[in-house]
């Protein structure tokens, strides 16, 4: 499968023979690199593209010395796809995969982009409508996933307390409603789902009950009054949320289907759907470097640096981020990012009075 776990083997093939076998050393500047070359005369090789992009390496007695230049423009960080093709930059990849270029609105670009999205949805249309299906056979990670999402949202609510009134969330790329049922309905009075694949959304609607309440999941945190309300069958690149409706817009394991342009446009547009003080959470697989394209379902796994660069372009503020813990080692790392319209400063806890101020505040006799 693709969205969660794709191409671990490719990463191993490309990285391990060179980068995992010896001690690694990074040089931050060209001066450091020059000094290393001078003190280790030998057979240096430089690689651009792929996960080894922008690396310069020297193998001396089994020790790999790795140079990664911090001055390299993020745009230049390359990646690879599931067929083993390497790309020297994101720009090259998006042009090849989805006909997307900075000014690209010609007919060829549009057709390629439609093809990219069509392939993504077609892939999921052939997948069984179940938790195991949307998790690529790793249904067993559901509980760990939900536990860390719970902890993350509670920390965020602590930092950015929601306003009074009923809490409302949007579950993006909702699949069969796994996130809504097991997590969002425990915190929010109303949840809307947006998902482009009909049979997933039908399953979600059936599971969450005709009145939207998750069947069999009512408990003290998830009372019957908490309901899934709207089920939108639309891909994110075409979706605009109702203005000011949501406390939280949760985007999990689906943003890899969006091109960079549509990623940025979605977050910019969807901000209008947030209540004042509301926020986004993006929970996604993370590539070690650059990106990995999965040709079978038209998705891209981006690196942490890649995400941060896109966040800057959305104008949103990265308020908090955490790694998911406890997933099997052969899966991509997963990270949660909370994005706010503007930085939220936590109100400082009341400061403990110092000894001096304590004395000053003691009752004193007036002479």
Whole-angstrom distance, CA of residue 71 vs CA of residue 262? 27
The encoded tokens of residue 329 equal 């080692």
Q: From the CB of 234, what's the least distance to ligand SAH, in Å?
A: 8
Do 90 and 102 form a contact (C-beta atoms < 8 A)? no
Selection from 145, 322, 132, 172 nearest residue 255 by Cα: 172
Nearer to ligand SAH, 178 or 245 (CB): 178
Planar angle of CA 232, 311, 77, nearest 5 degrees: 115
Residue nearest to ligand SAH (CB): 175
Q: From the CB of 35, what's the least distance to ligand SAH, in Å?
A: 47
The rounded Cα 60 to chain-centroid distance in angstroms is 38
Interstrand relation of 291-294 and 274-286 (parallel, antiparallel or unpaired): unpaired
Q: From the CB of 15, what's the least distance to ligand SAH, in Å?
A: 26
Nearer to ligand SAH, 178 or 187 (CB): 178
Planar angle of CA 169, 170, 171, nearest 5 degrees: 120
Nearer to ligand SAH, 27 or 123 (CB): 123
Q: From the CB of 281, what's the least distance to ligand SAH, in Å?
A: 12
Q: From the CB of 146, what's the least distance to ligand SAH, in Å?
A: 10
Helix 198-207 and helix 107-125, axial crossing angle in degrees, nearest 10: 40
Nearer to ligand SAH, 289 or 298 (CB): 298
Nearer to ligand SAH, 67 or 152 (CB): 152
Q: Point out which residues bind ligand SAH (CB under 6 A).
A: 3, 117, 120-121, 124, 134, 173-175, 178-179, 195-197, 200, 235-237, 252-254, 257-258
Instruction: Note the maximum CA span of the chain.
Output: 90
């Amino acid at each position: 499968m693709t969205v969660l776990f794709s191409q671990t083997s490719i990463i191993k093939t490309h990285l391990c023979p060179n980068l995992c076998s010896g001690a690694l050393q990074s040089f931050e500047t060209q001066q450091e690199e020059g000094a290393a070359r001078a003190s280790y005369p030998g057979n240096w090789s430089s690689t651009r593209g792929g996960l080894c992009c922008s690396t310069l390496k020297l193998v001396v007695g089994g020790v790999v010395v790795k140079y990664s230049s911090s001055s390299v423009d993020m745009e230049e960080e390359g990646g690879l796809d599931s067929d083993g093709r390497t790309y020297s930059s994101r720009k090259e990849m998006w042009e090849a995969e989805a006909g997307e270029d900075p000014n690209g609105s010609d007919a060829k670009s549009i057709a390629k982009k439609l093809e990219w999205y069509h392939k993504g949805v077609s892939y999921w249309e052939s997948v069984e409508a179940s938790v195991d299906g949307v998790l690529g056979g790793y249904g067993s990670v559901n509980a760990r996933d939900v536990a860390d999402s719970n902890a993350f949202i509670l920390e965020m609510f602590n930092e950015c307390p929601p306003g009074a009134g009923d809490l409302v969330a949007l579950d993006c790329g909702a699949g069969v409603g796994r996130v809504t049922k097991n997590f969002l309905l425990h915190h929010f009075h109303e949840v809307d789902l947006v998902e482009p694949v009909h049979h997933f959304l039908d399953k979600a609607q059936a599971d969450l009950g005709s009145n939207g309440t998750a069947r069999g999941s009512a408990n003290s945190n998830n009372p019957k009054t908490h309901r899934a309300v709207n089920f939108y069958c639309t891909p994110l690149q075409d979706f605009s949320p109702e203005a000011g409706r949501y406390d939280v817009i949760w985007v999990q394991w689906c943003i890899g289907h969006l091109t960079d342009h549509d990623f940025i446009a979605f977050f910019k547009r969807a901000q209008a759907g947030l209540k004042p003080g509301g926020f986004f959470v993006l929970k996604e697989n993370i590539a070690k470097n650059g990106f990995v394209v999965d040709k079978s379902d038209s998705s891209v796994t981006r690196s942490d640096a890649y995400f941060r660069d896109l966040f800057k372009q959305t104008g949103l503020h990265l308020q908090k981020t955490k790694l998911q813990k406890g997933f099997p080692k052969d899966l991509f790392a997963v990270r949660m990012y909370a994005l706010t319209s503007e930085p939220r400063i936590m109100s400082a806890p009341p400061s403990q009075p110092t000894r001096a101020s304590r004395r000053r505040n003691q009752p004193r006799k007036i002479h």
